[in-house]
Chain A
Amino acid sequence: MTIENEKSEETDPKYPFRSEKLLPREERVVRFIETLQEVLGAKIYNLPLETYLGTCAKCNNCAEQCQVYQASRDQKDLPAWRSDLLRKVYKKYFTTSGKLFGKLVGAEALSEEDIDNMVDAFYRCNMCRRCGVNCPLAIDNALITRVGRVILAQLGFVPANMTLSTRTQLGEIGNTSAIPKAAFIDTLDFLEEELRDETGIAIPIPRDVEGAEFFFAAPVSDYIMEADTLLGIAKTFYAAGASWTVSMENFDAINYGLFYSDADLEKVLNRLLEAANSLKCKTIVIGECGHSTKAGLLFQKIYGRPEYQGMKVKNILEVSHSFLKEGKLTFDPTKNPETVTYHDPCNLGRGSGLYEQPRELLKAAVLHFIEMTPNRQMNYCCGGGGGLVVVESLHDWRMSTGGVKKVEQLRATGAKIVCAPCANCKKQLRELMQAHKLDMEVVGLHDLLGKAIVLSGKA
């Protein structure tokens, strides 16, 4: 199930998603059913899908947890209604009761209009999984959204930036921002110079070091636009005396396949695993990026090639926290005197379980830490989750609906700085600050660690 790489200018004017190869309207229903059959045939979703689609009690408990519905109050944003779009089809074509009793059991034949509704609904879901936290039946609508998107992508409905970025990443250039290797080397040289100028110490950003303990990959945007995050990470590795490396062949951790395609997710993931394996590294450390951490953590067992199963995938927060616990890091919190609050990226929190590690790091490195409410598993998504942050045509929606609850939450903290250790969250939060005129700085966790870390005596 890969998006075909044929270029086409065909678009559906109703939706702002360019199609790689848009199917004619009359062919979409058949293809949809075929793809759903393929998804079920692949088996990896069968238990979640059968239980989620077959037993939802329609209690609507998810609605009061969904920040999109809370903001819009539009019935089309009810998580259970959105999931019902796929549920009806699944029941109609793949269950005995649905075939026999049809609408009586909530089964309905798929129409082209239903597909239109899905294109709309599945790309108004942040896939944040907040609605699943308090589902009495433990049903996770985000997984249904994901499966829906995987199917829609086969019909041509997929945000163009995602597929184009992934195609670039899987091509010769090897990263989603099409940065040539020479430019990347220049960037790392520049970062090393910055480190030297700032600290007076020759802190390296090691490249292609065979046998390094940690193979590091960040979302490519971090190398270009989040220099402070990268500098903080380099300082942290240096202070801990850790052996780490960046690959010159594969340094981009982004995996947009998580949002629309299993086939692309698998390719990107294995590409990363292969790069680490070729350098004989056993642990892949993902930078401050939620979705690529989740893609690695949740899908390695299913999609990682057998020879890569022994590898560990970790997020940098976990690694830095372990350095802290081992007494390898010392901070001077007076370097960060402003009040800092912490945003739990959905994919790092609900998706990966990293709740306390970043907090302990922050409390060690900043003078005033304040929690936002709610937090941890009930934290609000930034409003750009599920890859929506890269969909420019959804910008206004993200500002007016998707991120509204986040803005209210941030404003209530009164903090000067919000720490968001995720590239996508940072982008969305900065846009929210601008759109809602909120005077708050958005930084990564290692930006703050880097400012406060004590490196004396390490030169």
Chain B
Amino acid sequence: MTGSKFIAVIFPYIAVALCLLGTAWRFIHWLSLPPHVKWTLYPAPEGLAGQLKYMVKEMFTFETLYKFNRRLWFGSFSMHMGMAGAVLFFILYLSGWSTKLVVQVCLSVIVIAPIYIIGLRIYDKNLRLLSNFEEFFNLAFLAGVAAAGLAASVPHIPVSPRLYFLGLIEFRPDASFLSAVHILAVLLGGLFLMYLPLSKMIHYVSKYFTYHHINWQKE
């Protein structure tokens, strides 16, 4: 098996598995820690409905950042909505319910927004002080993955990658028609997935604990 074939046929499964395992490991590890000091931050939303209302509002508006840091909100909100949109519309695209163009728009946002945030982290003296290599790397990595995805989707490449991804889902991946650009996108995407749960970007899990287990702890 060639390296390219390995990346296209085997590596995606490894990446997804490691991403899921890593995320599960972080979740289980935090869940299994012994009782911690009560550190409720009042007022905590009342009941499940109140908590859901808070979380949904925060997830879809980034209100906390909007209120105090509008410039960063613009980049961060765009980036996260771009990511959510890319995943959602990619699934719809594979299902035949969305066009490739919508996915490309989302990917474009994921390229531009991190670059904007990198610029802000260099330009703003406080953000510059707080930022280390990891912050820049994460943003650049994400932009790189999206850029590779975008490059792999441009029309001059003769065969649509849609068939390849459908093959992956059906465990019958056919990489024979993929170009080097496709392989690069798959490689970067896979590496990003593997890196995600190991990095500080694990906040998609940690927020559950910082909100529900700490800030909103009742007893």
Contacts and interface: CB of A to CB of B under 8 A. Distances in A.
A48 B30 CA distance: 10
Contacts of B213: 47
Contacts of A63: 126
Interface of A: 43-48, 50-52, 54-61, 63-65, 75, 78, 80-81, 84, 97, 103-106, 129, 132-140, 143, 297-299, 301-302, 349-353, 355, 376-377
Interface of B: 30, 33-44, 58, 62, 64-65, 67-69, 72, 76, 124-127, 129-135, 137, 198, 200, 202-203, 206-207, 209-211, 213-215, 219
Given A46-B36, A48-B36, A55-B200, A350 B209 contact: no
Nearest to B211: A138
B45 to A, nearest CB: 12
A353 B69 contact: no
B37 A134 contact: no
B69 A302 contact: no
A65 B210 contact: no
Contact of A60 (B33, B38, B127): B127
A139 B134 contact: no
A172 to B, nearest CB: 30
Contacts of B130: 58, 60, 78, 80-81, 84
Nearest to B67: A134
A350 B42 contact: yes
Given A44-B34, A61-B65, A134-B67, 13 more contacts: A44-B36, A51-B210, A54-B200, A58-B131, A60-B127, A106-B133, A132-B41, A133-B41, A140-B41, A298-B38, A299-B37, A299-B38, A353-B40
A66 to B, nearest CB: 10
Nearest to A80: B130
10 contacts: A47-B213, A55-B210, A59-B69, A60-B124, A64-B68, A106-B133, A106-B134, A138-B215, A140-B39, A376-B43
A377 B42 contact: yes
A48 B214 contact: yes
Nearest to B42: A353
Contacts of A297: 38
B24 to A, nearest CB: 16
Contacts of A377: 42-43
Given A59-B76, A103-B133, A140 B215 contact: yes
A51 B219 CA distance: 20
A84 B131 CA distance: 10
B133 A143 contact: no
A58 B135 contact: yes
Nearest to B203: A55
A48 B42 contact: no
B128 to A, nearest CB: 10
A302 B39 contact: no
A60 B72 contact: yes
Contacts of A299: 37-38
A355 B30 contact: no
Nearest to A131: B68
Given A58-B130, A353-B42, A355-B42, A45 B203 contact: no
B69 A138 contact: no
Contacts of A133: 41
Contacts of B137: 104
